[in-house]
Structure 1
Amino acid sequence: MSTAIRSQDDALAWASAHAASLNEGAAHADEAISVLGAAGFFRIGVPSALGGSGGSTADAVDAIARVARRSLTAAFVFWGQRTFIEYLLQSDNAALRARHLPALLSGELAGATGLSNAMKFLSGIESLSIAASPAGEGWRLDGSLPWVTNLRRAGFAVAAAVEPTDGQPPAVVAFLSGTPGITRTDDLELLALRGSNTAAIRIEGVVSGAAELIHADARSFLPRVRPAFLSLQCGMSIGLARACLAAAGASGSAVRAGLQSRIDALEASLAHEIEQLQAGLASGSFATQAAPLFRIRIRLAAIVREAMDLELDATGGRAYLVATTGDFARRWLEAAFVPVVTPSLTQLHGELERHAALRAA
């Protein structure tokens, strides 16, 4: 780690200082998890009895938002790490949790949520991409994960849903880099967020058994973890929107152009969505009623777009000049990621339409 990290403020300062580098390339990609881990960010919302600092999932959402305000790339890998941690917290496999949780909380081990495919499977959008063939007392896994974030080359753990070939229910398993049969591709050529260690994984003849099992029934486990999966993801939008609104408000032209009332109104809308998100997490209602969470995620993405436009309006031509754009150009590219991260806005709208059709029927 290039800089001694002693506090969360230190880590946030590091994210600000390296935001451009993290967005544009992989020079500091492997440091982000170590920095955030050293500052204790991954312990937020984790019970103290398990090595965390206590608090709730809402506290973890706020932590991701604080990081996203400085760097969406750092927040993206934070989301991947904290979501994998959440899977272990909600797993019945205490031995698996005890084996990996300490290194995940400290940032020594990178955790990746390979369940984007599984979330699409849950919504009936696509089939599971990993087959699990019976082999002895476990399975032989074969397939691929085309897009996984936080695959730090120094070592990572991945969660994935698998489809047994013998008719058993789909399950969720974990596997480690270095396991025979696991191949990480080169980083994907992303438009932005290029320091997020995002790549594909090929899985060929990987041996998996009870020790690697996160949950035996994906169809019951995925709805249970989906509220955290999506809510933590919302932290990315919240932080980016706050950064854009702060930049718009700080521009001297905002008042002259009559933008302040629009900035104030959008800040109020953002605060409302955050309140709705916190209320749903506190009540636990998102576990049985996913549609309100989908709508919050959609509205937050719209707020990011409008906040980005306000920052551009307030900054004017300076935003389009390389010498004076500041962080605007980076945030513009970061914002383009918000609608497409799984589940994409298109997928969420489709899911809401399906829910409406079921109610009508």
Structure 2
Amino acid sequence: MNSLAAWLETHAEALDSDPSRASEVLPQLVRAGAAAVGVPETLGGAGGTIADAIDIVAAVAQRSLTAAFVLWGHRTFIEYVQRSDNGVLRERTLAPLLKGEIAGATGLSNAMKYLSNIEALQMRATRRAEGFTLDGSLPWITNLRREGFIAAAAFEHEDGTPPSIFAIPHDAPGVQRSDDLDLIGLRASNTAALQVSEVSLDASYRLTADARNWLLHVRPAFLGLQCGMSIGLARRALQTTSEASAASRDSIRAEVAEAEAKLGEQSAHLRTGVLDGTFLERPAALFQLRIDLADTVTRAVSLEVQASGGRGYLRGQTGTARRVREASFIPIVTPSLVQLKAQLTQHRPVSVA
């Protein structure tokens, strides 16, 4: 991981601003073994737990949120393949994913909002004798690598049976990737829209035939790996603040210590919750933690801005300006904070006067 850390430190600004660097990110992550952490050795991974995978996402996010965003999408798709009961799909895709020969894209933001009754599914599947015909579009998916990808998406069945989740290969006829979205940052993340038009796939590409129940079980990993991005970004902002000159940091020393303690508590809570099943049984606890971590990111970056002063406003002098942009992305990653807060109101008991 040391070589990856050095590469990210050198190229973090370019990865945030230059979409032409997108092809470099996944190979660097895979070469360092980042995508294999938490995958059983029997499946070709490095072993460990999902909590260890979250730690790796956090470590990458300390240096580049763009790279961490790519790792989140890729590693989350790997988690989907692990948790699928489709052995044929796992045999076909897991090794190429771990080698970085194909990029995994978690197109399940729409599905997670469907699970929380926020919006309807945007994709439709029609049963045919030879399998399924798939149609629909998703406006925002990360890690749609031009060199090759496979994307997860949830589909409503026209015959009224429970929704399914399919893994959509980039080279299936009818799959179309848009140009990269014109983001203000994270521009080397291969983020684009996906259009699926009369795509024919058989059951060997179906991750699950029961989307709702399956999503409930993968949601802690989906959100937990996402929380790793917040942890890493906040950790780096606080570290940079602590390294500022004494004159810059002395007046905010107590606030920095408080933020560091809070981040440590939140990180420990996340690790415990994904390992002991708390977030599976009580998803509201994970929703609240994701919200709290976003608040910690905002506070940490604000402290860094204060400590860096005018120097942080100069181009090329520090990573402060980039981290401000990165922090502005944390609240809108699906499910956004607005959506999570709406969900929490549904989980809270109604008081009776």
Alpha-carbon distance between aligned partners in 1 of 2:247 and 2:305, rounded to the nearest angstrom? 10
Q: What pairs up with 1:333-352 in 2 under 5 angstroms? A: 333-352=325-344
| Partner residue in 1 for 2:188 | 195
Work out whether residues 241 and 249 of structure 2, in 8 Å CA contact, stay in contact via their aligned partners in 1.
no
Q: What pairs up with 1:54-133 in 2 under 5 angstroms? A: 54-133=47-126
Q: What pairs up with 1:12-51 in 2 under 5 angstroms? A: 12-51=5-44
Work out whether residues 18 and 28 of structure 1, in 8 Å CA contact, stay in contact via their aligned partners in 2.
no
Instruction: Write the deviation string for residues 268-294 of structure 1: whole angstroms up to 9, x where unpaired.
Output: 000000111111112112112101111
Alpha-carbon distance between aligned partners in 1 of 2:326 and 2:35, rounded to the nearest angstrom? 22
Which residue of 294, 298, 312 maps to 2:291? 298
| Structure 1 residue 257 displacement after superposition | 4.0
Matched, 1:284 2:284: no
Alpha-carbon distance between aligned partners in 2 of 1:25 and 1:221, rounded to the nearest angstrom? 36
- Unmatched segments (≥5 aa) in structure 1: 1-7
Give the direction of change, closer, same or farther, for the CA distance of 1:256–1:45 in structure 2 (3 Å limit).
closer
Instruction: Write the deviation string for residues 132-187 of structure 1: whole angstroms up to 9, x where unpaired.
Output: 01221421111101100000000000001000000110011101101100000000
Work out whether residues 227 and 286 of structure 1, in 8 Å CA contact, stay in contact via their aligned partners in 2.
yes
| Partner residue in 1 for 2:245 | 252
| Partner residue in 2 for 1:236 | 229
SS at match of 2:198: strand
Instruction: Write the deviation string for residues 210-262 of structure 1: whole angstroms up to 9, x where unpaired.
Output: 11010000011101100000000001000000110011110004665411111
Alpha-carbon distance between aligned partners in 2 of 1:352 and 1:70, rounded to the nearest angstrom? 32
Alpha-carbon distance between aligned partners in 2 of 1:125 and 1:112, rounded to the nearest angstrom? 22
Work out whether residues 158 and 174 of structure 1, in 8 Å CA contact, stay in contact via their aligned partners in 2.
yes
| Partner residue in 1 for 2:346 | 354
| Partner residue in 1 for 2:155 | 162
Work out whether residues 88 and 97 of structure 1, in 8 Å CA contact, stay in contact via their aligned partners in 2.
yes
Matched, 1:327 2:319: yes
Work out whether residues 171 and 218 of structure 1, in 8 Å CA contact, stay in contact via their aligned partners in 2.
yes
Q: Which amino acid aligns with 2:258?
A: A
| Partner residue in 2 for 1:184 | 177
Q: Which amino acid aligns with 1:18?
A: H
My pick for the range that moved more, 275-284 or 341-350, is 275-284
Q: Which runs of 4+ in 1 moved over 3 A?
A: 253-257, 357-360
Work out whether residues 128 and 161 of structure 1, in 8 Å CA contact, stay in contact via their aligned partners in 2.
yes
CA RMSD of aligned residues (A): 1.4
Alpha-carbon distance between aligned partners in 2 of 1:321 and 1:15, rounded to the nearest angstrom? 21
Alpha-carbon distance between aligned partners in 2 of 1:38 and 1:328, rounded to the nearest angstrom? 28
Work out whether residues 253 and 314 of structure 1, in 8 Å CA contact, stay in contact via their aligned partners in 2.
no
Work out whether residues 43 and 53 of structure 1, in 8 Å CA contact, stay in contact via their aligned partners in 2.
yes
Q: Which amino acid aligns with 1:33?
A: L
